[in-house]
Amino acid sequence: MTVCRTRQGEVRGRTSPDGVTSFLGIPYAAPPFGALRFRAPAPPDPWTGVRDATTHGPTAPHAPYAPPFDALIPENHIPGEDCLNLDIRTPAPEPGAALPVMVWLHGGAFTNGSGSASGYDGSAFARDGVVCVNVNYRLGSDGFLHLPDRPDNRGLLDQIAALRWIRENIASFGGDPDRVTVFGESAGAMSIGTLLTTEAARGLFRRAVLQSGACHHYLRPASARLIAARLAERLGIEPTPAAFEAVPLPELLAAQGELRTAVSADPDPARWGEAVLNMMPFEPVRPGLTLPGPDCDVDLLIGSNREEYRLFLVPTRRLQAFPESSLRAMTAAYGLDPGEALPVYRDARPDATPGELLDAVATDWFYRIPAIRLAEAVPGSHLYEFAWRSPRFDGTLGACHALELPFVFDRLHDPSYAPLLGDRPPQALADAMHGAWISFAKTGDPGWEAYDKTTRTTMTFTTTPTAVPDPRARERLLWEGVR
């Protein structure tokens, strides 16, 4: 057993045979319940003696993913109120080691996920000389529901509280508080996109990796009020903090899941606001889109997967059943002229079905174009695209959303990833991708040229990773001027 000191007290971790020491379930804030429900995170209470940190702490309350995603995306459920906690894995648990630090913010549409899922085990990062920290933060209504007289974006406030805790304590675990890289996927990456322009987060991280999410997704306050009203209506209560606090947690979580289904079934902007486009009723609340500018002092690595939207079309059997009329309607909803845009997408995919074209258009709107815009806004950023195609679902799953995760974490053999990966995923690709993330955290350079508007260099991660100029330029140009 190994003991390290934090400002709240000492913690005891466990060292594995490969030399990685894990400290699990350390609270970075007080339990967000009782008088602290729907409030900004409060500091954790100190303790006396040595606190055991050899088992994962509670996860933020969330309902399971709905089928079929419950079998495809890794997460876990650990009950308990002390859910604002983090895990640390380090190769050198001692002050003075001054190793780079990587802080993981998990995805899950702001309603699901947990930092302690086995697929996010950061041991490979620690093995390669990085202190890896995984954060749990509030989700769904507790984290992101807009409520009167309560702070918005409580889940983001949790993330900031965790980053402050890391800055104050990580040196004891061998980390350098001035060399922190925050990295996240999907909702985790979208969180980082917001943190980049949040004054309270300034100075808490030096580098950032945004995987399949950027600065694109948020709810304006008027839309956030609509979401709160719809949830209250479903529960038969007034949309007030006291009323939501009185709802039993299982009932509230079930209603959150029903809300997302309702948005999909009735995509009326008058009822749901911006949520009708991405079907995410819980998101950061912001008055408008804000991008960091050339004076951004954070190094950025940004990217997306080539066929992100197939995760939502293939397992649900929508890919081949999607009608042409709906394709045209969705393309228009994303802000493109279907008569102009769809022929361009079809030129590169002459045999594509409407569902396959929807994948291409939605992937661009949701993931690729926001990544490009962020890279354009911050000179010196590095851009990537993950293009290795999964053999699952007879090869139709493609380079879908979340597929890059086992490669980034170098956990191809974690059982939780098998439903996405299939048999014999290429270890050489994991070596390349994981190695690029390590290099970026250590030096700010992942191994290829920075993105600029002239060359638009993009690293394409396939079996043979290759840096290429401006992939699918004609399709990119369609989005000029579209939010």
Whether 449 is a known active-site residue: answer no
Q: CA-to-CA distance for 90 and 113, rounded, in angstroms?
A: 23
Q: Is 378 exposed, middle or buried (0-12, 13-18, 19+ CB in 10 A)?
A: buried
DSSP 7: S
Query: What does the longest C-alpha to C-alpha distance in the chain come to?
Result: 69
Query: Hey, how many other C-beta atoms are within 10 angstroms of the C-beta on 68?
Result: 14
> Which DSSP string corresponds to 331-378?
HHHTT--HHHHHHHHHHT-TT--HHHHHHHHHHIIIIIHHHHHHHHHS
- CA dihedral sign, ordered 347, 353, 356, 362: positive
Q: Which of 54, 124, 41, 43 is nearest to 87 (CA)?
A: 54
Evaluate whether 130 touches 438 at the Cβ level (below 8 Å): yes
CA–CA separation, 63 and 346 (whole Å): 39
CA dist., res. 259 & res. 346, Å (int)? 34
What is the spatial distance between Cα 209 and Cα 440, in angstroms, rounded to a whole number? 9
Q: Which of 401, 404, 416, 475 is catalytic?
A: 401
The catalytically annotated residue of 114, 123, 172, 186 is: 186
Give the Cα separation of 447 and 458 in Å (integer). 11
DSSP-derived pairing of the beta strands 50-52 and 2-5: unpaired
Which residue matches tokens 């900004």?
A: 40
Asked about 401 being catalytic, the answer comes back as yes
Active-site residue (options: 308, 385, 404, 475): 308
Supply φ then ψ for residue 336, to 5 degrees.
-100, 155
Instruction: Identify which of 132, 182, 106, 109 has the alpha carbon closest to the alpha carbon of residue 21.
Output: 132
User: How many C-beta neighbours within 10 Å does residue 433 have?
Assistant: 23
CA distance 5 to 10: 4
Question: DSSP states of 187-209 as a string?
Answer: HHHHHHHHHTT-GGGTTS-SEEE
Contact 194, 215 (CB under 8 A): yes
Decide: 399 and 386 in contact? Cβ < 8 Å: yes
Catalytic residue numbers, as ranges: 186, 308, 401
